[in-house]
Amino acid sequence: MKTTSQRTLTLTAIVLANLLFAARSQADPLANEVAKFDQQPLSTTAVAGQIYFGHDELSTAYGVGNAASPPLNYQGRFMADDFADKVSTPVVHLSWWGSYINDTAPTPQAHVQKFLVAFESDVPAGPGGFSQPGQVLDYDIVTLGGLTPGSGTFTESLVRGPDTISNEALYKYNAELHLGHEFQEKADTVYWLKITALVDVPQPLPSPVPPGTTQWGWHDRDYTINDTLASTAPAVTPGESIVGNLLGQNIYHFQDDAVQGDLRFTPSAPPGQDIIQLGMTPQNYLFVNSVGAGPIDGPPGIQNFSKDLAFTLYTPKVPEPASCLLMTMGLAAIGSLRRRPSTR
């Protein structure tokens, strides 16, 4: 083989391999991570010609202390949703969506600087009851900052400006869990994810909350999109499934209702006493007729369906055989070039 042909083969293999890796990593938060569970947000979702923006539910806890010292504990409201997927690999990165409630006051809200991210076991629904988060299996506190592997930081980016119903903008969050706080998830096992904004403010906090106080909410899922990564029956029953149809649109849903409840978080407390959650209630999508604020989550009837929340879980990427073959071809060609004596 001529030197020119060898160089062409080498460059072709390298380019193909790089293109393959690049194409697959563009959609990932970091280049070495791939999604394993994915519930996209209601943002500008069309059902039967009507656009729905979705809504968020308050998931914010306020520090008990004063401005001069770190809070000893946090109290507030939380949202949580269940999940299960098909692979036993660790969760190292999360994406989720949310916005700031009543963010149109003259005094602007300070944006969130830290989130509590907790993974919890599942308490299945009993007679007359509903499924809900159980034992805290692991949690992490992520703080605002640039992302690197295992950094324990998150970013906030604007997805769209204020909608025409609630006048609230939508933000996307990406977070890298701290090294050592990767969640060791098992395939086809139902878990719960709790994400709560932690806000340090002097206490007691007046009620109603004064304008300008941070009120962050977790946004709901786009039920028109099937999460093909989620577990399904019979491995998890019902798992990801079609639970109904409105105006010709299938309604996709995973397992059980998202829940809201009261939260008390004490970082210094021993395990089992650090996260206390009470008063949990299941949540549905919202519909408000033309007399109220307008359609929020969907057409009439959507309020009868259990709500999911918008989030994506990521795990480290394992190179596939085709990718490995391309890289091997490139490395082999490079080695051949280095071994071949010069013809000049």
The beta strands (E) that lie in the chain are given as 33-39, 45-47, 50-52, 56-58, 60-66, 69-83, 90-91, 93-100, 114-123, 132-144, 153-160, 170-176, 183-184, 191-199, 216-219, 240-246, 249-254, 259-265, 275-282, 311-316
> What was the pLDDT predicted at 289?
61
Amino acid letter at 71? P
- CA-CA distances (angstroms) from residue 222 to 26, 41, 85? 22, 5, 18
Do 72 and 206 lie in one domain? The reply is yes
Q: Is 171 within the bounds of a domain? A: yes
Compute φ and ψ for 112, nearest 5 degrees: -65, 140
> What was the pLDDT predicted at 326?
44
pLDDT tens, 79-137?
Answer: 999 999 999 999 999 999 999 988 776 778 899 999 999 999 999 988 778 999 999 99
Do 198 and 49 lie in one domain? The reply is yes
Top-ranked range on mean pLDDT: pick from 11-20, 74-83, 317-326: 74-83
Do 260 and 343 lie in one domain? The reply is no
Do 213 and 337 lie in one domain? The reply is no
What's the domain count of the chain? 2
Token pair in block for residue 300: 């009439």
Domain that holds residue 209: 32-222+255-316
Do 212 and 341 lie in one domain? The reply is no
Do 122 and 18 lie in one domain? The reply is no
Do 134 and 261 lie in one domain? The reply is yes
Quick one: average pLDDT of 176-204? 94
pTM of the model as a whole: 0.83
Quickly list DSSP for 166-189: S---EEEEEEEPPTT--EEPPTT-
219-229 in b/e form (b: 16+ CB < 10 A) is bbbbbbeebeb
Q: Is 234 within the bounds of a domain? A: no
Q: Is 43 within the bounds of a domain? A: yes
Is residue 224 within 8 A of residue 249, CB to CB? The reply is yes
Q: Is 327 within the bounds of a domain? A: yes
Do 86 and 177 lie in one domain? The reply is yes
Amino acid letter at 278? L
Do 23 and 170 lie in one domain? The reply is no
Closest alpha carbon to 306 in 326, 286, 283: 283
Do 39 and 11 lie in one domain? The reply is no
Q: Is 270 within the bounds of a domain? A: yes
pLDDT tens, 36-89?
Answer: 999 999 999 999 999 999 999 999 999 876 555 667 789 999 999 999 999 999
Q: Is 241 within the bounds of a domain? A: no
> What was the pLDDT predicted at 344?
42
Q: Is 45 within the bounds of a domain? A: yes
Amino acid letter at 208? P
Residue 328 predicted with pLDDT over 80: no
Q: Which residues contact 147 (CB under 8 A, 6 or more apart)?
A: 29, 30, 153, 154, 155, 174, 175, 176
Chain-centroid distance, C-alpha 50: 26
Residue 330 predicted with pLDDT over 60: no
Do 128 and 171 lie in one domain? The reply is yes
Mean pLDDT over each residue of the chain, to the nearest integer: 84
User: Whose structure tokens read 């299941």?
Assistant: 282
> What was the pLDDT predicted at 127?
78
Per-residue confidence at 279, pLDDT binned at 50, 70, 90?
Answer: very high
Q: Is 331 within the bounds of a domain? A: yes
Do 8 and 85 lie in one domain? The reply is no
pLDDT tens, 224-266?
Answer: 999 999 999 999 999 999 999 999 999 999 999 999 999 999 9
